Amino acid sequence: MVGVAVLIAVSLAAEPRVPERTPPTAPDVTAGSVPATGEQVPPPARGVTYVGPFAQAWTEEGRGPRVLLLHAIHAGAGGHEWSALVPLLREHRSVRVPDLLGCGRSDHPDLDYTPQVVLAAVGSLIRAAGPNTHVVASSLTGAYALKAVAHGARVAGLTLITPTGLGNPRPPAGERPWAKAIYSVGRHTPLGDVFTLALGARPSVRWFLGRRAYGSPDNVSEEAVDAYSREVQATNAKHLALAFVTGRLALRIEPDEVREVQPDVIWACGQRFTPNIEADAWIRAGANVTMRGVGMPHVEAPQLVADHLLRDDRGELERPRPWVRAT
């Protein structure tokens, strides 16, 4: 699979046109198109975007300019992360929700996941969605989305939710010998399956969501626990999960990249996964940071995120956006 990883990395550097496949029965949802007043919202569409030979599945529903929602990267991750936000947007936006490579309904290849592979996967989704799309990315995926935009992916807007990448500079944990050994052994022996199954056990999921991700354990629903547990136990889900757990996917963002893109950042002060002091680094680098006292705002307080994304409709957005580039 090393050759496949190289192929993906080369395809990212070449910035090819990423093919999309949509079933013939699915409606044609075009970014930027707004149905006439009173027209019904079209039924959901399904499709895939390829990165190398692998398919990343997505659903799209709603009407209006397109919003692309990119979920976080961790054990059990998937598009289900956005289930509370989508209903608040679809009356006003065409909302595309993919599963990243190795997650959900997307392909789960037996692949050596590296930052280059994940960057290619995220970049392909952004490019395929089109330059008129507002991209929203959560946690570690926020760092990858910003990197993709800083290096040429065109978007209409970029909002990051508690992104990583601007913390204290230090060697990625994934480069340490012990992490490499754990990753290699886990990928190629049943020990990795046992470990990921333990991660996906309902008590483990409930603990992680309630004690690390959410602002309050009371906000953890049984539906969320089911979704994360189900994703972790999918065939070949261990490869991406192990890459994340061992720190292999940590991505360093340069302040100059933030200054160039000037993203909006919604920083969740209630989570206990990314140190809140890192919000200061995003502010110093030129991001427009809004602090919120919740853990996962798009889950625990989705109306706050919806209001942020729909503020263009109310004429509240006046700051110039350097990432809106002329065709």
Q: Residue 95 corresponds to which amino acid?
A: V
pLDDT band for 294, please (50, 70, 90 cuts).
confident
- How much is the pLDDT for 244? 93
Q: Is 197 helix (H, G, I), strand (E, B) or coil?
A: helix
Class of domain 53-314: alpha beta
288 pLDDT exceeds 80? yes
259 pLDDT exceeds 90? yes
Q: Residue 76 corresponds to which amino acid?
A: G
Residue 199 Cα to chain centre, angstroms: 20
Domain boundaries, the chain: 53-314
- How much is the pLDDT for 182? 86
Instruction: Give phi and psi for 48, each to the nearest 5.
Output: -140, 155
pLDDT digits (tens, 9 = 90+) for 225-254: 999 999 998 999 999 999 999 999 999 999
By the 8 A CB rule, do 47 and 96 touch?
no
- List b or e across 233-248, with b for residues whose CB sees 16 or more CB atoms inside 10 angstroms: bbeebbbbbbbbbbbb
- Cα(163)–Cα(142) distance, rounded to whole angstroms? 5
pLDDT digits (tens, 9 = 90+) for 169-190: 555 665 678 788 889 899 999 9
Dihedral (Cα; 113, 98, 230, 87), 10-degree rounding: 150
Angle among Cα 133, 138, 141 to the nearest 5 degrees reads: 85
- How much is the pLDDT for 304? 93
- Mean pLDDT estimate for the chain: 84
- pLDDT-wise least confident of 40-44, 131-135, 232-236: 40-44
* DSSP category for residue 16: P
Handedness of CA 140, 153, 291, 254 (dihedral sign): positive
- How much is the pLDDT for 175? 67
Mean pLDDT across 105-129: 97
- How much is the pLDDT for 171? 54
Identify the residue whose tokens are 């065709």. Answer: 327
Top-confidence range, 23-37, 143-157, 177-191, 291-305:
143-157
Mean pLDDT across 248-277: 92
pLDDT digits (tens, 9 = 90+) for 300-314: 999 999 999 998 665
Mean pLDDT across 87-110: 97
37 pLDDT exceeds 50? no
pLDDT band for 324, please (50, 70, 90 cuts).
very low
- How much is the pLDDT for 83? 96
